[in-house]
Every structure is written in structure tokens, then in C-alpha cells.
Chain A
Amino acid sequence: DIQMTQSPSSLSASVGDRVTITCRAGQSISTYLNWYQQKPGKAPKLLIYAASSLQSGVPSRFSGSGSGTDFTLSISSLQPEDFATYYCQQSYSFPYTFGQGTKLEIK
């Protein structure tokens, strides 16, 4: 199985800040990397697919980059609704493993 490791596990930031979350794969996964946002009690929501493609309807302040083993999710100017938990996921091979999550909290 391909292990996905996110850092940090938690992050405190303020509205308007720029934040970056990192995801590292245990082996090269090309750009088969997705990012999801999950709010408490809700289903995950797809933000980014193929490492850098913005899902339809997702604000442009979200962006993704990377290839191979190292990937980042950036939020350019945090909004109140962005405080949530973020997960990366590899879709290179089964099982489609997720990172452990990064909880983004209000400072």
C-alpha cells in the first residue's frame, strides 16, 4: 500500500492568512493526487484533482501543486468557511489511500 503522510497534523491561522499543507507519498504517484475538505458532521468535498486541477465550483484561492512524491495544497487568503480538515488521497493504485488529515483551526 502507498502511505500518504500529511504535515502538519494541525494548523492555527487567521482569516486572510496564506496557508500551505504538505502531503508526501511513500512512492512516486505521478500527479494522481486529490485534495478533499471535510467539515464536522459532513461528507468530504473534492477540492483539487490530478494534483493541481481545481474542481468545478471551488474558489480560486485554493491551489495544488506537486508531482512524484511531494505535493502541496495552498489557500491564498483564508476565509471563515475554510476552517476544516483537509485530506490528500492518492489514486495511483489500489487501495486508494488517504493522508491522516490536517485540521485547520482559527487562531
Chain B
Amino acid sequence: EVQLVESGGGLIQPGGSLRLSCAASGLIVNSNHMTWVRQAPGKGLEWVSVLYSGGSTYYADSVKGRFTISRDNSKNTLYLQMNSLRVEDTAVYYCARASSSGWPNFDYWGQGTLVTVSS
């Protein structure tokens, strides 16, 4: 059974940094495409970033230059380093597997971790 467990969220002041983790079991992070999606309180879903198994990364324009997606193969864990945080980054952050079928989709999701950016 695939399980993705996010951690690292919390309350942080604007301009601060936070690193989110997504510990995986039942799948090998570096053999899969992995992604982060966020959801602001009461709002819809917003794709944030993807890390392909081959190492390529892509980011939403709203986080480009501030967020970095990475993985630790020895810990089978995906990360999202978030710097220069803004109030508008407040959201629940989900990690998910991006299926490598011919039609990309997000088929396994974690439960999410809440990031609150506020002074």
C-alpha cells in the first residue's frame, strides 16, 4: 500500500523559510515523478512543482525562484524548500505521485500539511 506522509508545516512570518517533507512508503521516490499541490483556505487546488524521476524540475510561476523541490533517496523522502514566504503562500500543501503513464495524473496523495504565513 502506498502512503505519503507530509510534515514540516506551521506558522511562519513573511519572509521566512520552511522545509516540507513527504515520507513515502510503498513506492520508491526516486523511481517516480513526484509533485506538490497546494490549497489556500477555502480555495481550489494549485499545482506548485514537480520532480521527475530523471531529475528534471518544474515550478509554478508563483513560486519560481523561491521554492525548491528535491528528494533524499536514502530516506525515500520528497522535500519542498520554501524561502521568502508570502502571506499568499498560506495553504495546505499536499505531496502526490505524478503517474508516469502517457497521460499524467496525480494518483496517490498525502494528507497534507498546513503552512500559515502571518505576522
Contacts and interface: CB of A to CB of B under 8 A. Distances in A.
Q: Is chain A's binding surface mostly helix, strand, loop or mixed?
A: loop
Given A32-B104, A91-B104, A95-B61, A100 B44 contact: yes
Interface string A71-107: 0000000000000000101010011111111000000
Given A94-B58, A95-B60, A95-B61, A46 B44 contact: no
Q: Which 8 A-B pairs have the closest CB atoms?
A: A50-B103, A91-B104, A43-B109, A49-B105, A98-B45, A96-B47, A34-B105, A101-B44
B94 A44 contact: yes
B111 interface: yes
Contact of A96 (B101, B104, B111): B104
Nearest to A55: B107
Interface residues of B, number: 23
Contact of A32 (B61, B103, B111): B103
Interface in B15-37: 37
A53 interface: yes
B106 A34 contact: yes
Given A34-B106, A44-B106, A46-B107, 4 more contacts: A36-B45, A36-B106, A43-B112, A49-B107
Contacts of B58: 94-95
Contact of A43 (B47, B103, B110): B110
